[in-house]
Amino acid sequence: MKQVYFDNAATTPMRDAVIERMTEVMRSQFGNASSTHSMGRSAKSLLESSRKTIASFFNVSASEIVFTAGGTEADNLVLQSAVRDLGVTEIITSKLEHHAVLHTVEHLQKKFDMTVSYVNLLENGMVDLIDLERLLQSPNKKLVSLMHINNEIGNKLDLKKVAELCKSNHTLFHSDTVQSVGHYELDLQAIPIDFIAASAHKFHGPKGIGFAFIRKGSGIKASIFGGEQERGYRAGTESIHNVVGMEEALKLSYANLEKEQAQVLELKTYFIDQLKGLSSKMTFNGNCVNTEESTYTLINVCLPVAPEKGGMLHFQLDLKGIACSKGSACQSGSNQNSHVLSEILNAENLLKPSVRFSFSSFNTKAEVDYVIDTLKEFVEN
């Protein structure tokens, strides 16, 4: 059976060079980075070299990079400590955030009886910056948490503008940048942001490793207690092969960034054109067809499919070997509608099947053609 992978927003295939580098480290550099003997020192040297390299891509100090198990842990570390340790009494966020943020904020609201404010959204799901500015006038000690790239509909936040708004209103700013690290250049000296979260498996690296950027002097404290690893932010023996794999993946992503951005954007544009050609009733969710205000890596399409066929669409795509998603992978096994689409679609379109197709440089136009041919039997003209 033909296999077509269009679910790169969920996870990406690892590059061969990353696998080779990790295998080399697992074979020869298995020491504990906290040990004082030569093998431990060698592992520690690899760890800190990777931290320094990763920090350099964002124009920050190596001490501001904290390795985590992924984006979810990084989000939790920042949000929980901000409320518990920094005296934040109000979090401003949106209802389109990843559940790593939304569920953490809900937990904090219950536990600390703090204020949660949700910024208004425009019709296409973009954050209403005028309303955000209004919310920033609150006298509470505040933290804004807004993602850079929405993982379901691809909307892109103006990170620099929001960061400057927050700074001018004496508000901490955290952004889940899981969908943008490795896909966009982020100069964190030019962007006055306090915290970001990243995950290696979104840019052709290994699963189970990511990092938080925590700006120096922020006051954030540990959420996992034990040893003094990660400068006390996160106890536990570091996974050296995963850290080195993440470093290698990030190096390759940024070395090939311009070429792969152009390649993937061309593929996305081609896919959109082919979908529009299938039916005049085809609609796209969020702002994903706007190449300036959405990521080049995904589209989310509402398909004009008869109700009796709609329920079987994803099953049939899977039978044809096509991997895609009806929302984020984190909830695709759920019977509930996507919380993102529920916020921005009308009742009629919510009844139609929406599909997220997300791309990488591993994909081809021939794969797009295969998907289009498969959809023809479902889509109404």
φ, ψ of residue 149 in degrees (nearest 5) = -120, 125
3-state secondary structure 134-189: HHCCCCCCEEEECCCECCCCCEECCHHHHHHHHHHCCCEEEEECCCCECCECCCCC
Q: Which residues contact 6 (CB under 8 A, 6 or more apart)?
A: 322, 323, 324, 357, 358, 359, 363, 367, 371
Amino acid identity at 308: E
What is the Cα–Cα distance from 130 to 254, expressed in whole angstroms? 34
Which amino acid would we find at residue 83?
V
Compute the distance between CA of residue 183 and CA of residue 373 in angstroms, rounded to an integer.
29
Question: b/e for 100-132, b at 16 or more Cβ within 10 A?
Answer: bbbebbeebeeeeebeebbbebeebbbbebebb
Q: What is the CA radius of gyration of the chain?
A: 21
Structure tokens at 191: 């962007």
Of residues 166, 288, 302, 330, which has the active-site annotation?
A: 330
CA distances from 151 to 3, 8, 62, 87, 223 (A): 23, 10, 27, 30, 26
| H helices present in the chain, as ranges | 16-28, 38-57, 71-85, 99-112, 129-135, 159-168, 240-255, 257-278, 307-310, 313-319, 339-344, 347-350, 365-375
- In eight-state DSSP terms, residue 198 is E
Verify whether residue 330 is a known catalytic residue.
yes
Catalytic site residues?
330
